[in-house]
Amino acid sequence: MSDIELDRDGPPYGVYLLWFMRAVAVLWLAKGVIHWCLILGIGHADPARFLGLPTLTQSAVIFFAVFDLVAAVGLWMAATWGGVIWLIAAAAHFLIVVFRPEIFGRQYAMMTTIGVLVVLYVGLAFLASREKHH
């Protein structure tokens, strides 16, 4: 073990990973609910607005309305599949914004946030897995 690992105080990285996954689960739950609000016309969304969107945009909104909620549940449960589903959802959102900006727009702040969250998740998962082996 390195000196850094010997001097480390505080909870194990697995605990940090658990709380990180739960925090992201709350964010992703909100993201999924926002998509459902658009579909159902709840809040400030006009019920006819969703039907007036291009078919490709409707498909993407429906995909994320379902997929984001599944990812949120998996993350909250701290299940391995939850992290995988979330990474797929994050990658799908990123790819849609980069390659098909007409669907959701450029969303630079969202892409930066997703990028930071993915890097933190991968880093915490790596540290937690290393910790288990020592």
How far apart are alpha carbons 117 and 34 in whole angstroms? 19
In the block, tokens 């498909």 appear at 59
**11-15, 39-43, 61-65: which has the highest mean pLDDT?**
61-65
Half-sphere exposure of 33 (CA within 13 A, CB side): 9
The confidence score (pLDDT) of residue 48 equals 81
Question: Which is higher by pLDDT, 3 or 91?
Answer: 91
As given in the structure block, the two tokens for residue 62 are 């429906």
Structure tokens given for 110: 């969202």
What's the token pair of residue 122? 């991968």
Under a CB-based contact definition with an 8 Å cutoff, are residues 90 and 114 in contact? Answer: yes
pTM of this structure: 0.85
Question: For the segment 71-95, what is each residue's pLDDT rounded down to a tens digit?
Answer: 999 999 999 999 999 999 999 999 9
Q: Supply angle C-alpha 107, 119, 132, rounded to 5.
A: 155
R_g of the chain, CA atoms, integer Å: 18
Spatial contact of 37 and 45, defined as CB atoms under 8 Å apart: yes
